[in-house]
Chain A
Amino acid sequence: MSATLHAPAPRRTGIRRWTAGGWLRALWTTPLAFLLATGLVAGARAALGYEPLLAQQPYITTLMVMVPIGFLAGIGAFDYWARYVSGRPTIPDDHASHGAHSWKDYFKVNTDHKVIGTQYVVTTVVFFIVAGLLAMFMRAELAEPGMQYVDPQAYNGLFSVHASLMIFLFIIPAFAGLGNYVIPLMIGAPDMAFPRLNALSFWLLPIAGLMMLSSYFIGAFGAGWTNYAPLAVQQPDGNLMFQMGVQWAGASSIMTALNFLVTIITMRAPGMTFWRMPLLVWANFATSTLVVIATPFVAGSQFFILFDRVLHTNFFDPGGGGYVIAYQHIFWFYSHPAVYIMMLPGFGIVSEVISVFARKPIFGYRLMALSLMAILILGFSVWAHHMFVSGMADWLRVPMMVTTMVIAVPTGIKVFSWLATLWEGRIHFKTPMLFALGFVSMFVIGGLSGVYLGSVPIDIHVSDTYFVVAHIHYVLFGGSLFTIYAGFYYWFPKMTGRMYNETLGKIHFWLTFVGFNATFFPMHWIGTRGMPRRVADYDPMFGNWNMAISIASFALGASTLVFLYNMIVSWRRGEPAPSNPWRALTLEWQVSSPPPIFNFDEIPQVVGSPYEYGVRGARHAILNGKPVQEGREAAPMEETVP
């Protein structure tokens, strides 16, 4: 193993333990930032004579800017740049912060993309569990009509925090985490282009998540993750936690996306042309472009609400000349592309998995890549389909309907190409493949209900009902989450160096698949029949259906335990994984599991497509002087163990 090439950082003693970057230093820099922020606001308010001195909102806003900076400075996220900026000699990079030597290294600022990828994945799973529990509370309340466990404002807080965590702290960063681990390996690079930026972008995440969660202490935000003005301005102060949480999560997202773009454009191994890139890399290329262009809009929308609340501006206050609907335009100009940010990386994962487990080249590779780019471009022209009944300009509805429907064409190309990839394949139903195939049919249901919602007249009826709740869950659960599960199982051997338990994986899939459909399919019906979304209480005529949905949702929740058990136990005690258990051709499988500290001992030379299964004599790359598996002569599993 080359992991010991670089010594761990020297142990520090005495006062140095408190001044060197790490948790001990964060222990005093974080409270220091807290005191500074409080003092700053108190001082400014006293000096300017603002009453009352202790108005909550200015303090909360300032604290949520400064405390994270204090914490990040403490753990050492800025050390290298701080030396650089202040003109002191930077510490020669001894790669002490590269690679993980023990579990403790996962709790430090680390610049290794593989460590960061793992940090991302584990953190996002934690937030996934928390957000899932919030959904369980919601289903408990909704099981019967009337109010049982929580009051309506608390219920509004439950679904708002559930959605915010699932979107900003699970789906988007989970894809970023998988991409972080896999992309440099797939393109034959030793790491990401900006390792220190990469480390920083991870550490912003727990901050954003804890911020959104801790809103419960001062009154959870209850205006939905969409946080529409002017309701957002009326909400308790916890609303600020959402607005600032989105800033930190958004900053993280943008940094990672820039990093992906630069890495993909500049660090591909020799011979890895764009037309030889695996589709996962293409998908993350498209996604990162979306993130970089769109995310500033959601940041802006939340800042404007923040200003309306704290500085008493009137962006969205009609009393002061503001325009309420402007918020929705800005918000959806990010949040519709965000749907593709949450979907395209999944398309990439599914393309890898289906090709490998059907033992066939991906069908129509170039059209698959081009359809990703088509979705990327069209994705910016459809945002107002969320606003057909909002009272925006009438004429905008039909053009936005047409662009929305047209997106079904490139999406259809992808679905049909996945199906054609199965044709005459030799299909192995391993857990990742089950999730990938489950994804295809569930995503088709979500896509088709999207066509319903895209049609203006139908949308007028079903908008803001449970039909929409069903639709988003078919897209984000049956769509994104299934692909994330597929990715977790597919790369688990590579990331942990151990195999997961296949039987438990299959049980997890079937429980999830059945529980998911039993939970969300009936929601189409109750929505069309007249149950609005985001309600703590509802017409008793929907009582039986809601009870059935709640029971199914608890089974769905329980299925997650199988997943967690499998992941945790297999990570500790699973069988050691060979370097290439799936007999895949892409580069990440050609190095040991887990990979050596700098990925490749020798830079690979790419000579062909990554999907040439069954093609006699075809090669993807030459590594360490040896060709990477040739089609039918592929070495059986045992022989690939290093």
Chain B
Amino acid sequence: MIVIGLLAGIVTGGVAYFIPWLPDQASTQAEEIDGVYWFVAIICAVVFSLVAGVSIYAGWKFRAPADDMDDGSPIHGHTGLEIWWTAVPTVLVVAMSVWSAVALARAETLPDDPDEYTTIEVTAAQFAWSFTYPELERTDGELVLRVNEPVELILTANDVIHAFWVPEFRMKQDAVPGIETRTVITPTKEGSYDVICTELCGPGHPVMRAGVRVLSDADYEAWVAEGEQGAGEGGEGEADGESVFAEAGCGSCHTLADAGSEAEIGPDLDSVVPGQEEQQILTSIVDPNAEISEGYQPNVMPGDYEDRLSEAELDALVAYLVEVAGARR
């Protein structure tokens, strides 16, 4: 039986060891979480090997011939054994709980000094993310972080529940309409990652993603400077259709060659926009159910863009669409 148990243990251990179970570790939170993950994994592997070992051994050893009419040994119980298999699991679950609670507390701790971390406001809407950097007075469709600097993300949602998840950071948090939620990330590895929405939020859910870049100090400063320059050029209050398209998340569902988007949830704008009047385009944005393109369903596109975008932004967006997609007239 010990042999079978060991064999089961080796198989389980091999599955655990040789398959790369977890994504890259790119934050201090990932280190904390992976520590618990492997602690629990070892306990589970041992328990499973024990159960598998005993069942296979018992099935092999105590198998009765088909015509056997005898009964087994009338064993009704064994108090000592029952105490052991109540006590040992209790100790194990307490150990796992304590480690988990400590790891959780450490993962979510921010430095006491507010200068040592940044706060970023994350807003989720069907089906796009936007990130506001209050210190930089900047809003972007991409999350940009400085390596080794803790960030506090304050999340909310405009319409339904969404969830913010970057597998390499391990951290996940729902963005909930009506309240603010919070999570903490300290990125440790430069690179590009994806924010993945993990709470079902409607037909665009599978494509609701945004980019994350973790930059070195120098690159981060350069990105900050570029933003300030851009803000200076653009001028106050003037909306730019191309950035409205990006920030409102249109590209999550619609193909538009100029914006580089290739999504297929909604109609391909390069083919439906040509030949449409500006008023017609505006109606399609603010009241998507007014006219549904053939082959598409009503109630898929959110109907609240009139509230989400200002009049100037809507006009800029329509003008942009006419300019880049409506050329075939």
A residues sitting closer than 8 Å to B (CB atoms) are 147, 151-154, 156, 219, 222-224, 228, 230-231, 234-236, 318-319, 322-325, 358-361, 363-367, 389-391, 397-398, 401-402, 405-406, 408-409, 412-413, 415-417, 419-420, 422-429, 437, 440-441, 444-445, 448-449, 451-452, 455-458, 460-461, 463-465, 525, 528-530, 532-538, 583, 612-615, 631-632, 634, 636
- Are A325 and B176 in touch, CB under 8 angstroms? yes
Instruction: Compute how far the CA of A230 lies from the CA of B158 in the bound complex, rounded to whole angstroms.
Output: 11
Nearest CB in chain A to that of B92: its residue? A408
Given the known A-B contacts A234-B202, A532-B196, are A152 and B265 also in contact in the complex, defined by CB atoms under 8 Å? yes
Q: Are A359 and B97 within 8 A (Cβ)?
A: no
Given contacts A397-B104, A632-B70, contact A360 B75 (CB under 8 A): yes
A535 with B90: in contact, given A324-B176, A457-B36 (CB under 8 Å)? no
Q: Which of B34-69 contact A (CB under 8 A)?
A: 36-37, 40-41, 43-44, 47-48, 51-52, 54-55, 58-59, 62-64, 66, 68-69
Chain A residues whose CB sits within 8 angstroms of the CB of B296 once the complex forms? 151
Give the distance to chain A from B303, nearest Cβ to Cβ, in Å: 9
Give B76-94 interface residues, CB cut-off 8 Å to A: 76-78, 81-82, 85-86, 89-90, 93-94
Query: Is A360 touching B72 in the complex (CB atoms < 8 A)?
Result: yes
Known: A230-B177, A530-B23. A457 touches B85 (CB 8 A): no
| B178 close to A530 (CB less than 8 A) | no
Tell me the bound Cα distance from A135 to B235 in angstroms. 53
Tell whether B10 is near chain A: CB-to-CB under 8 Å.
Answer: no
* Distance from B43 Cβ to chain A, minimum over Cβ atoms (Å): 8
Q: Known contacts A360-B71, A537-B206; decide if A230 and B44 are in contact (CB<8 Å).
A: no
> Which of these binds chain A: B115-123, B166-174, B223-231?
B166-174
Structural contact, B96 and A427, CB atoms closer than 8 A = no
Write the nearest CB–CB distance from B121 to chain A, whole angstroms.
Answer: 15
| Number of chain B residues close to chain A: CB under 8 A | 87
Min distance, Cβ B102 to any Cβ of chain A, angstroms: 9
- Indicate whether A464 sits within 8 Å of B172 (C-beta atoms), given known contacts A223-B200, A408-B89: yes
Tell me whether A448 and B47 are in contact (CB under 8 A): yes
- Chain B contacts of A363 at CB under 8 A? 75-78
Known: A420-B81, A614-B74. A425 touches B51 (CB 8 A): no
Check: B276 CB closer than 8 A to any chain A CB. Answer: no
CA distance A325 to B174 in the complex (A): 10
Chain B, residues 214-234, CB within 8 Å of chain A (1/0): the string is 000000000000000000000
For this complex, 8 residue pairs linking A to B, each with C-beta atoms less than 8 Å apart, are A230-B161, A234-B160, A363-B75, A391-B173, A408-B89, A427-B63, A452-B40, A461-B33
Task: Report whether B203 and A465 are in contact in the complex, using a CB–CB cutoff of 8 Å.
Answer: no
Q: Is the CB of A398 within 8 A of B104?
A: yes
Complex Cα distance A147/B295, Å? 14
Residue of A365, A397, A448 with highest tally of chain B CB at under 10 A: A448
Interface contact A425-B72, CB-CB below 8 Å: yes
Residues on A with C-beta less than 8 A from B265 are: 151-152
A452 touches B160 (CB 8 A): no
Q: A230-B159, A401-B100 are in contact. Are A460 and B172 (CB under 8 A)?
A: yes
CB-based contact B58/A427 at 8 Å: yes
A423, A460, A536: residue with the most chain B Cβ atoms closer than 10 Å: A460
Residues of A within 8 A of B51 (CB): 415, 419, 440-441, 444
Contact indicator B200/A427 (Cβ below 8 Å): no
For the complex of A and B, list the 10 residue pairs with the smallest distance between their C-beta atoms, beginning with the closest: A318-B178, A614-B71, A425-B72, A391-B181, A426-B64, A530-B167, A535-B206, A360-B72, A422-B58, A464-B198
Bound-complex Cα distance A361 to B160 (A): 54
CB of B74, distance to nearest CB on chain A (Å): 4
Give every chain A residue within 8 A of B21 (Cβ-Cβ).
525, 528-529
Q: Please state if B40 and A460 are interface contacts (CB–CB under 8 Å).
A: no
Q: How far is the CA of A24 from the CA of B174 in the complex (A)?
A: 53
Query: Is the pair B93, A359 in contact by a Cβ cutoff of 8 Å?
Result: no
* Nearest CB in chain A to that of B161: its residue: A228
Q: Which of B44, B71, B160, B264 has the most CB of A within 10 A?
A: B71
Closest chain A residue to B103, Cβ basis: A457
Chain A contacts for B150, CB-based, 8 A: none
- Do A365 and B47 contact each other (CB < 8 Å), given the known contacts A398-B104, A458-B37? no
Are the CB atoms of A424 and B73 closer together than 8 Å?
A: yes
Task: Please state if B89 and A361 are interface contacts (CB–CB under 8 Å).
Answer: no
Q: In the bound complex, do residue B68 and residue A426 qualify as a contact, i.e. CB atoms below 8 Å apart?
A: yes
In the assembled complex, B297 has its CB within 8 A of some CB on chain A? yes
Proximity bits, B172-204, A CB within 8 Å = 1, else 0:
111111110100000000000000111111111
Q: Is the CB of A324 within 8 A of B161?
A: yes
Contact among A154, A415, A457, A528 for B104, CB-based, below 8 A = A457
Q: Quick check: A422 and B205 within 8 Å, CB to CB? A: no
Chain A residues with CB under 8 Å of B97's CB are 398, 401-402, 405, 455
| Residue from B23, B36, B198, B207 in contact with A537 in the complex, judged by beta carbons closer than 8 Å | B207
Contacts A419-B54, A441-B48 aside, 8 further interface pairs with beta carbons under 8 A come to A156-B200, A224-B200, A363-B77, A448-B44, A529-B20, A530-B23, A614-B70, A614-B72
Evaluate whether A409 and B161 lie within 8 angstroms (CB atoms) in the complex, with A223-B200, A457-B103 already known: no
* B272 interface contact, C-beta 8 A: no
Quick check: A236 and B299 within 8 Å, CB to CB?
yes
Given contacts A409-B93, A440-B55, contact A391 B86 (CB under 8 A): no
Please indicate the chain B residues that have their CB under 8 angstroms from the CB of A465 in the complex. 198
User: Among the interface residues A153, A325, A441, A632, which one has the most CB atoms of the partner chain B within 10 A?
Assistant: A153
B167 touches A426 (CB 8 A): no
Complex CA–CA separation, A451 to B82 (angstroms): 21
| Min CB gap A586→B, angstroms | 15
CB–CB A389/B44 < 8 A: no
- Do residues A420 and B78 form an inter-chain contact, with CB atoms below 8 A? yes
Contacts A147-B264, A538-B206; is A631 near B71 (CB within 8 Å)?
yes
Indicate if the CB atoms of B55 and A422 lie closer than 8 Å.
yes
Task: Report the minimum CB–CB distance from B183 to chain A (whole Å).
Answer: 8
Which chain A residues lie closer than 8 Å to B59 at the CB level?
422, 427, 429, 437
**What separation, in Å, do the CA atoms of A465 and B21 have in the docked complex?**
14
- Complex: A433 Cα to B93 Cα, angstroms: 30
Cα-based distance from A509 to B264 in the complex (angstroms):
42
**What residues of chain A lie closer than 8 Å to B167, measured between beta carbons?**
461, 529-530
B22 within 8 A of A: yes
Contact B62 A389 (CB under 8 A): no
CA A451 to CA B97, docked complex, whole Å: 10
Give residues 3-36 of B contacting A (CB, 8 Å): 19-23, 32-33, 36
Closest Cβ–Cβ distance, residue A623 to chain B (whole Å): 20
Out of B70, B85, B199, B297, name the residue touching A412 (CB < 8 Å): B85
With both chains docked as a complex, state the minimum distance between the C-beta of A326 and any C-beta of chain B, in angstroms: 11
Q: Least Cβ distance of B258 to chain A in Å?
A: 23
B2 at the interface (CB under 8 A from A): no
> With a CB–CB cut-off of 8 A, which chain B residues contact A535?
205-206
- Pick from A367, A402, A419, A538: contact of B77, CB under 8 Å: A367
